Structure 1
Amino acid sequence: MIKFSILITTKNRLEALKSTLKSISHLIDSSDVETIICNDGSKDKTTDFIKTNYPKIKLINNQKSKGLIFSRNRMLHQTTAEYAICLDDDAHIVSTYTLELISNFFKANERCAVMAFRIFWGETLPQCIDYTDTNTRVKGFVGCGHVWRMEAWKSIPDYPDWFVFYGEEEFASYQLFKNNWEVWYVPDILIHHRVYLKGRKKHKDYRVRLRRSLRSGWYLYFLFYPITTIPRRFLYTLWVQIRTKVLKGDFKAFLAIVQATGDLVINSPRLISNANRLSKKEFLDYSKLADTKLYWRPEDS
């Protein structure tokens, strides 16, 4: 059995993918690593580039785009590895001895299902990447930089592809908690996610991203939270969006809120049939865990 797998989903971002593959080429060439890329309906010659330049990579092609979550499920079902490293096409591993760190940590922590990596979000990596934070059990993990113990992945339901985008990691984290698995933040492994966060609001997909982000959060409430806690949390998040965006003239945000609310209603049958609620004690225990480490900055250390 292959010990490590690197899983990357891509769609129409060939230049970003080229940079990622170049940065992790030493891992791709390793004898105990398989690399799987799911090309989600790209129109930019991604397939030709991979076949020509990286013949060792296992390529999955979705002829029509099926979405990020569908693609991740497909790769996770195909890998035969013991551990699966998940990256975005615009993110790469900076740290050295990554495979050894992963193997040693999982061996030392038998109930760890997912290792969440330290992630720097920005176009340019800081000169100083030293850190002082420590290994911490956390609530969840970030899609662009983590590794699965595949035994744990196989013990829970697939990512919900009907979420389309956002929320799948939190979905898995709740399922893992219900099954007595753990998620750990391990800062020894650093990921550079090469994005400009402040510029996203100006992107054409701002409204779509906000809609999907809102609805996924609401989906999770209805799937996992004790029923008595849902109304207050739902109304609070709704008010925050209205106060911080709509009342300040963000009409795109208003449309996103309306659409997300409609999505919630449309998918209510799915939410009811897939609910796996935490008990009040489980919810309290889960709430006491450290928050998911979304971003790392040098000043945080």
Structure 2
Amino acid sequence: MGTEAKGIPSPSVIPACINRVQVIISTRNRLADLRYTIDHCLELGLKSEQIMVTDDASTDATPKIIRQYYPDINLYINTTPQGYIRNRNAMMKSSTRDFILSLDDDSNLLSLADLSRAIQLLDSDNDYAVFSFGVIEQKEITSLSMVEEKREFYKNYIGCGHIIKKAVLDKIGYYREELVFYGEEIDFSIRCYQNGYKVVGISGLFVQHRVDRKEREHQLKANVSRGEYSVLWRSSFSVSNTLLKIVMYYPLSLLPFYLIRSLLGQFYFYHIKRNQGRSYWKGLRRWLRMYSYGWQERKPFSVEEFRSWSRLPLYVTHQLTTH
């Protein structure tokens, strides 16, 4: 397909760069999903010592089972929920490897060759900070249609499948733990952009996110108001962190417009469309409490920088057909 001419590594050789990868997974009460993901990593040829797992105070038997069946992986156990952002930071900071592959407990790579090509591309340019995989949201994949491969740059990446250079984290800082839940990817992507780094991907390289959205929504609604990880808890952070992003990074002349648009848009989405008014008001109160923090941390785009960044595609721009 002439991938070398486009600056895309060839899939023909899987080099030793795989040994430079650290896999990190934050989990809570998803033992079966987690075991599938770990087993899949090992089946691809990754070593146990390359895998880090943080159990975020699961109430099931996750820590015991993981210790029993995977004694050589790096397992960290929280006694109280800390949130996946803090968990990922702790694992990334403790890693001594060059590249951090972050997976959800219910996501997996499709091949080791895909990982190798992603690492080679990241390693080919000092300005490449994050590799963004495309995501297939299906529990089972029987076959895939061919996708024309090309290198693309994005304004963001998806949390369930991406790779970050450790050197970039050490230089510009790790995830913003004040966010707690949601919004860390776009925040880090903006900081990358402002420091001259890029989020890059190859259309055609994917991770599988083994999720049935209808089933997941049903599970979350059944846990709508039970504290950490409930749908109320999750959605409230989405509201507050979206508004916080605007305060921290958007140009002053554009700030009123985008704040009003976000407030109205999220009110419609949560309060009217999804009947989750409590999430909206809880998130709004949290944003008001954090407004001074956002202003203190404010490092806005210039108007021209903002326009240039806004023109980038959000994630992957192509479509994939599964059969």
TM-score, normalised by the number of residues in structure 1: 0.90
Which amino acid is the alignment partner of residue 25 of structure 1?
Answer: L
Report the 3-state secondary structure (helix = DSSP H, G, I; strand = E; otherwise coil) of the residue aligned with 1:115: strand
Given candidates 256, 260, 282, the residue that maps to 2:279 is 256
Is the 2:132–2:201 Cα contact (8 Å) retained in structure 1? yes
Cα deviation, 1:170-193, whole Å, max 9, x if unaligned, reads: 010011111101101223432110
Q: Does structure 1 conserve the Cα–Cα contact (< 8 Å) formed by 2:130 and 2:163?
A: yes
Q: What's the offset of the Cα at 1:22?
A: 1.5
**Against the structure 1 CA distance between its residues 258 and 133, is the aligned structure 2 distance closer, same or farther, given a 3 Å change threshold?**
farther
Deviations 1:21-54 (A, max 9, x none): 12111356449x6111111111222222222222
Q: Which moved more, 1:289-298 or 1:79-88?
A: 289-298
Pair 1:242–1:99, CA change in 2 (3 A): closer
Taking the aligned partners of 1:21 and 1:111, their CA distance within structure 2 comes to 31
Alpha-carbon offset, residue 89 of structure 1: 0.3
Q: How does 1:270-281 map onto structure 2 within 5 Å?
A: 270-281=293-304
Partner of 1:226: 251
1:36-75 matched pairs, under 5 angstroms: 36-75=52-91
Mark the CA change 1:198 to 1:182 in structure 2 (over 3 Å): closer, same or farther. Answer: same
**Structure 1 residue ranges without an equivalent (≥5):** none
Letter aligned with residue 18 of structure 1:
R
1:151 counterpart letter in structure 2: A
- Where 2:240 maps in the other structure, the secondary structure is helix
Partners of 1:78 and 1:28 in 2: how far apart? 22
- Determine whether 1:79 maps to 2:102: no
Equivalent position of 2:3 in the other structure:
none
Distance change (3 Å), C-alpha of 1:172 and 1:187: same
Contact preservation (8 Å) 2:156, 2:189: yes
Q: Does 100-109 or 147-156 show the bigger shift?
A: 100-109
- Give 1:150 shift: 0.8
Give the SS at the match of 2:144.
Answer: coil
Who is 2:27 aligned against? 10
Give structure 2 stretches of 5+ with no counterpart: 1-16, 222-229
Deviation at 1:262, TM superposition (A): 0.6
Quick check: 1:239 aligned with 2:264? yes
1:244-274 per-position Cα deviation (integer Å, ceiling 9, x unaligned): 55345x542x222211111111111211222
Count of paired positions:
296
Mapped partners of 1:29, 1:251: distance in 2: 44
Alignment of 1:1-301 (within 5 A): 3-27=20-44, 29-30=46-47, 34-202=50-218, 203-204=220-221, 205-244=230-269, 246-247=271-272, 250-252=274-276, 254-293=277-316, 297-298=320-321
Counterparts of 1:217 and 1:264 in 2: how far apart (Å)? Answer: 9
Q: CA deviation at 1:198?
A: 3.5
Query: 1:113 and 1:133, CA in 2 relative to 1: closer, same or farther beyond 3 A?
Result: same
**Residues 9 and 296 of structure 1: is their aligned pair in 2 closer, same or farther, counting only changes over 3 Å?**
farther
Q: Once the two structures are superposed, what CA deviation does each residue of 1:42-83 show, in whole Å capped at 9, x if it has no partner?
A: 122222222222222111111211111110110110000011
Alpha-carbon offset, residue 158 of structure 1: 2.2
RMSD between aligned alpha carbons?
2.3
- Contact kept? 2:45, 2:112, Cα under 8 Å: no
Q: Is the 8 A contact 2:270 2:280 kept in 1?
A: no
Q: Work out the CA distance in 2 between the residues paired with 1:295 and 1:266.
A: 39
Identity %: 23
CA 1:193–1:136 in structure 2 vs 1: closer, same or farther (change >3 Å)? Answer: same
The answer (yes or no) to whether the contact 1:141–1:294 under 8 Å persists in 2 is no
1: CA distance, partners of 2:292 / 2:100: 32
8 Å contact from structure 1 (residues 69, 159) kept in 2? yes
**8 Å Cα contact 1:214-1:257 kept in structure 2:** yes
The CA distance in 1 between the partners of 2:308 and 2:269, in whole Å, is 31
State the AA in 1 paired with 2:294: L
**SS of alignment partner, residue 172 of structure 2:** coil
Q: TM-score if structure 2 supplies the norm length?
A: 0.84
Q: Structure 1 runs of 4+ off > 6 angstroms?
A: none
Structure 2 CA distance for aligned equivalents of residues 40 and 244 of structure 1: 29
